[in-house]
Structure 1
C-alpha cells in the first residue's frame, strides 16, 4: 500500500470511500499523482474546480490577498466581502447575501431564514416540503431535507415537519401542502440524486404554488449553479426566481466558500443580528476567490462556452447510448451530465481510474460527469475514448 494512504487510513476517521490515488498537483483539466501519473479530470472536485487547475490569474489574486489579510472576523467590515456580495447579487438576481464556508452551511442558513420569515410574519408555519432523491448536505438540518433514507435513518430523529414529494410531479407537491408549510426546497437539477433535470412545467408550477399559498421557494444551486448548466444559475434558464438560493462549490474555484442569498422581502422579515453567524464566513481570502472567479468567468464568456461544449458532450454521450448495450440513457444539461448504465457503477469508475480518467457516480447507477468548465472538445473526445474502452 502507498505509504501516504496507509498513514491516512490509520490517522483519519473512515468517512470516505476514497479511490486508491494520491494526487500531487493539477494543470488545466488534468491531475497528477505523486509519481507523475496523469489523469483527465471529469469529476472536477465534485463540480468545484470550474476554472480547472493552475489558473494563474486566480492564483495571483489569492497570493496577493494572503499577503494583505486572510482573516478579520465578522466584527468588522473587510475590503473584499462587500464587493463579492455585490457581484453575487448581480449575477444571481438576489438582493442580500450571507457568506458561509460550505454548501451544507448555506442550506442551514436558508432553512433558518425561511423559519424566521414565518416567525416574523406571525404565520405559525414551520414545515418544509423537499424532494425525493434530493441531496442537501450532511449536517442535521441539511439531512432533514435530504430525500434518501440511507442518509437519514442512522441519525433520526431529525428536524420535524419535513415531507418529501416526487421530483417533477407537481401534484405530489400540492398534496403535501398544509397551512403549516413555510417553504419548498429543491434542486433545479439533482446531482447526487442521479442527474435529474427539473422540467419547465415543474419549476413554473412550484413558483406559482408558492405565490398562491404564501410559501417560500428555496433553490439549492450548490452543484448545478455557477455556470454548470449553461446559465449562471440553473433556475435562471426556467424564467423563475426563487425567494432564497444556496450556492457553494464553483463560486470559489476550490476555495472553501458558500453563500445563501435572498430577496429583499425575505431579508427584511427574517434574520437579524444574533440569529445566525459564522467565524470564517466572508473572510477576505474566500471572498477574493469569489470576486476573481466571477471576473474570470465573464472575461472568458464561460456561459457561452459551457453551452457549446455541453451540447457537444451530450451529443457524444448519446452516441454511447446507441453504441453500447450497457448504456441505457443520457441525462443532464450543460456540463453536468450522466449516463445510466447496467453494469456495476463502481467497477466502471475504478476501471476508468486505471485508464487515467476520473469520473464519479450518482444514484441510480449513473456515471456522473462534472468536469472543469474550461474543458474543450478534444477533452470530451479523450474522455469518450477512455470511457468507451472501459464500458
Structure 2
C-alpha cells in the first residue's frame, strides 16, 4: 500500500515525517505499510524499554481493560497503589504522584519545589537548571530547559530558572541566593548530546544542596527505569535526591510518568495537583508489568552486559573511522562523529534496503542510541555492521 499524502492532511504539522506509516512492531523491529522492516535503535526516544509490544505489557493492558479503565483520580485504584509501592520500595522516596508525560511530571516537580519554598524558605522559587538540558515542552519546562533558542520561543519565559554549567560545581554555587529553592538536572543530558554527570560532580552537588538547605531534583524521564544500568540513574552515583521524575520507559510505550519525593518534601495541599487521567488503572497496570520485568533477577545485569557490548562495538567503529569515541551510561549512549554528517547517516539508515535502520542524531556531529533494554547481542552486531556500511556510503 503506497503512502498517500492526502491521508495525513488532517494531522497538524509539528515535525518533518518521512512518507511511511508504521503498522506493526515486535521487539526491536518495526514494519511499515508496505511490509518493509526496520531495526529500531530509537524505540520512541527510549520509551519502549522492553521493545515494541512486549507480551507482559500487552497482557496487562488486555486484562485491565476488561476490568477497570478509569474510575477518576478522585478514588483509589489497585494498579496505581501497586506501582507506587513498587517504586517507593525500590528507591529512596516515600510518595508518588502519577501523570501522563515527562513534561507533566517535571511541571509537577517545579510546583512541588516552589510550594516547599513557600513553606520552608520564605517564598524562594528559583530552580537552578543547566545549559543544554531538556525538561519538556510546557511553558515552565521549556523555560527550565537549557536548549539553545528556546528562550525566544513563546516568550516571555517563566521566570526563575538560572542556568549553570554541567559538571562545573562553582557555576552552581555562584547562582545560589536567598530566592533559590532547588537544583534540577538530568543525570545524563540526553537531548544535549548524551552527557553524563561526573561522579564527583553529582556527589559534591548533593553535598552543596544540603549545605545550602535547598532541594536536589533529578529528572530521570529518560535515564530512569533501568536505562542506565540501575533501576534509577541516581543510584549509580550513590546519592539520595529529594525529588525525582520518571517518564518514557516507566510505561513501556504507553503514556505514563511519575513524580516522586521524600516524605519531608510532600507538601502539596488538596487541590494543588491533579489531572483527569493521572494514575488511571489501565496505564499503571502497564507500569506494574514493566517494573516487574525490570526487577526480575538478573535483568539489570543483562542491561549492563549489553551496554558494555554496545560501548565496545561503538569504540571499535570509532577507531576504524577516526571518530572521537563514544560516551554514555547503560543503554543510553552516543557515538561522537568527526564530521557534521549525523543527519545524513540517519537518513541513509532509514532508507537502507532491503531493511531499514532507525537512528537518532540530536546533534549533527553525534548519533544517539536508545535500544530496547532487552535487545540481543545479535541485533547489536547487526546494527553495528549496517552502521559501518552506512558510514562508508555517506562518506564515499
Equivalence for 2:311? 314
Alpha-carbon shift at residue 166 of structure 1 (Å):
0.7
Q: Distance in 2 between matches of 1:16 and 1:283?
A: 29
Structure 1: 4+ residue segments shifted above 3 A: 1-6
Shift of 1:134: 0.2
Structure-2 residue corresponding to 1:301: 298
Partner Cα distance (1:346, 1:165) in 2: 29
Q: Which residue matches 1:390? A: 390
Deviation per CA, 1:222-275, whole angstroms, max 9, x where unpaired? 0011101111111101001110001011111011000110001101xx211101
State the alpha-carbon separation in 1 of the partners of residues 307 and 3 from structure 2: 39
Deviation at 1:153, TM superposition (A): 1.2
CA distance in 1 between partners of 2:117 and 2:293 (Å):
38
Which residue is 1:351 aligned to?
A: 348
2:131 and 2:146 in contact (8 A); partners too:
yes
SS at match of 2:25: strand
Secondary structure in 1 aligned to 2:153?
helix
Cα shift at 1:300? 6.0
Cα distance in 1 for partners of 2:103, 2:228 equals 21
Report how many residues are paired: 387
The residue aligned with 2:186 is 187
Matched, 1:66 2:62: no
Contact 1:130 1:146 in 2 (8 A): yes
SS of residue matched to 1:85: helix
Separation of aligned partners in 2, 1:215 and 1:147: 21
Q: Distance in 2 between matches of 1:162 and 1:189?
A: 19
Q: How far apart are the structure 1 equivalents of 2:150 and 2:37?
A: 34
Q: Is the 8 A contact 1:5 1:22 kept in 2?
A: no
Paired residue for 1:271, among 249, 268, 272? 268
345-354 or 297-306, which deviates more: 297-306
Aligned counterpart, 2:381: 381
**Could you say which residue in structure 2 is the equivalent of 1:19?**
18
CA–CA distance in structure 2, aligned partners of residues 106 and 363 of structure 1: 26
Q: Show the counterpart of 2:239.
A: 240
Partner of 1:126: 125
Q: Structure 2: any 5+ residue segments left out of the alignment?
A: 392-396
Shift of the alpha carbon at 1:2?
Answer: 4.7
Q: Please say if residues 4 and 22 of structure 1, whose CA atoms lie closer than 8 Å, have aligned partners that are also in contact.
A: no
Is the CA contact 1:193–1:364 (under 8 Å) kept in the aligned structure 2?
A: no
Quick check: 2:342–2:363 contact (8 Å CA) kept in 1?
Answer: no
In the alignment, the residues of structure 2 paired with residue 217 and residue 2 of structure 1 have an alpha-carbon distance, to the nearest angstrom, of 51
- TM-score, normalised with respect to structure 2: 0.95
Q: CA deviation at 1:22?
A: 1.4
Structure 1 CA distance for aligned equivalents of residues 4 and 279 of structure 2: 33
- Per-residue CA shift, 1:29-60, capped at 9, x if unaligned? 11111111111110011001111123222211
CA-CA distance at 1:4 after TM superposition: 4.8
Listed as ranges, the matches of 1:304-343 within 5 Å are 304-325=301-322, 327-341=323-337, 342-343=339-340
> Counterparts of 1:260 and 1:130 in 2: how far apart (Å)?
18
Q: CA deviation at 1:321?
A: 1.1
Aligned equivalents of 1:175, 1:6: Cα separation in 2: 55
Partner of 2:394: none
**Compared with structure 1, are the counterparts of its residues 377 and 3 closer, same or farther at alpha carbon in structure 2 (3 Å cutoff)?**
closer
Query: Per the alignment, do residues 5 and 383 of structure 1 end up closer, same or farther by CA in structure 2, a change over 3 Å counting?
Result: farther
Could you tell me how far apart the structure 1 residues matched to 2:140 and 2:200 are? 29
Deviation at 1:5, TM superposition (A): 4.5
Hey, what's the Cα distance between the residues in 2 that align with 1:122 and 1:169? 25
CA contact (8 A) 2:114 2:123 kept: no
Q: Where does residue 54 of structure 1 map in the other structure? A: 53
Shift of residue 387, structure 1, vs aligned partner: 0.7
Name whichever of 120-129 and 333-342 sits farther off. 120-129
Of residues 356-365 and 207-216 in structure 1, the stretch that sits farther from structure 2 once superposed is 356-365
1:135 aligns with 2:161: no
Partner of 1:216: 215
Whether the 8 Å contact between 2:42 and 2:370 is mirrored in structure 1 is: yes
Task: Judge conservation of contact 2:341–2:365 (CA < 8 Å) in 1.
Answer: yes
Alpha-carbon separation, structure 1, partners of 2:280 and 2:108: 17
Q: Report the CA distance between 1:161 and its aligned residue.
A: 1.8
Does the Cα contact within 8 Å between 2:324 and 2:336 map onto a contact in 1?
yes
Tell me how far 1:363 sits from its aligned partner.
Answer: 3.3
CA distance in 2, matches of 1:85, 1:167: 31
| Alignment RMSD | 1.4
